[in-house]
Amino acid sequence: MKESILDHKKYMDFAYMLAELAADKGEVPVGAVVVRVSNGEIIGTGCNKCESTLSPMAHAEIEALTNACTALGGWRLEDCVLYSTLEPCMMCSGAIINSRIKQTFYGAKDTSVPGASKLLENAVYLGDDRCGNILTEFFRKRRLDMSRIRLVKAGTDDQLHRVEAIADEIWHEYFPPIIGEDQTNYMVKKFCTTNAMKENISKDAYIYYLIKKGSEDVGYTAVKLDGDRLFLSKLYLRASERGKKYSSAVMELHKKYARETGKSSIYLTVNKHNGLAITVYEAMGFERVSDIVTDIGGGFVMDDYVYELPVEAEGGEDNEG
């Protein structure tokens, strides 16, 4: 098949379908395909997976290039072209150049980093309105969802029972691979029951909140004023609600509370083997300041890092990414 008769619509339709799949999973909707020019075969596909992989490099173009290289058994893609729903960024443009791709076609311009594709000698803008519209709609919905995240103080028995149910669900889904089933069961019973939370509230002045998206309970969080700092004891989201930036929205509310109460920073502890949480907190600007091992009874310990985030005064510059 000659390059001049490549079916642009066919391949962009496929890339757009991948972008839709990304959006359905809460990822920025970008899709890409690599096509072998000699026979028109799609040999590599990809969509954005930055949220699910917690990798800034998990762009659609990178995945499509990697899959194409695997299919051909080599890293040179000299007989191939790439279709992407969005203009490639500088990182992806570099990968495209290194892979020897003959030509790149994209459906929408990247207004956040205009002109990144100028690194590519043969990039062609196809002007496919769908590709830009799906991005606009995705970010509109994300902003709406973020604005709907709120904290409702859990003080009544009914509210604390709801926190207990959410905690039981999340802990048994998330923590057994990190700390084991036995310690998970022990910690849920010791720290996450309604009675345990009531004791923390009355004796240690902890504040528990239901994390709400509209009227829906999507997680829970707990804080405590501690000298000139705010201690973030818990911030957990249901599995279906992760990767949607809700934790960042909750953190903004905690930062607002820290400012209102005159605190200089927020600190927290996180299990040393909880790689997902560590990555999320570091992306928010938290820095590791120490580590701590706490005996919690029952033959178990919490082996944690301590992270801290300075809280700027209102109008100052936050460390939020």
Residues classed as catalytic: 61
- The whole-angstrom separation of Cα 269 and Cα 308 is 9
Q: What angle do CA 197, 201, 205 make, to 5 degrees?
A: 140
**Residue 308: strand pairing partners:** 267, 287
Q: In Å, how far are 1, 7, 12, 33, 103 from 4, measured between CA atoms? A: 9, 9, 16, 18, 11
283 backbone dihedrals φ, ψ, rounded to 5°:
-65, -25
Please, which residues have CB within 8 angstroms of residue 32's CB and are 6 or more apart in sequence? Answer: 15, 18, 45, 46, 47, 60, 61, 63, 64, 82, 83, 84, 85
Please, which residues have CB within 8 angstroms of residue 319's CB and are 6 or more apart in sequence? Answer: 284, 285, 309, 310, 312
Q: Can you list the alpha helix ranges (DSSP code H) found in the chain? A: 8-24, 50-53, 60-72, 90-98, 129-148, 157-174, 176-179, 181-191, 194-204, 246-260, 275-284
Burial 77-104 (b: 16+ CB within 10 A, else e): bebbbbbbbbbbbeebbebbeebebebb
Q: What angle do CA 304, 220, 54 make, to 5 degrees?
A: 60
Q: Work out whether the CA dihedral 245, 49, 287, 91 comes out positive or negative.
A: negative
Q: Which of 247, 193, 258 is nearest to 221 (CA)?
A: 247
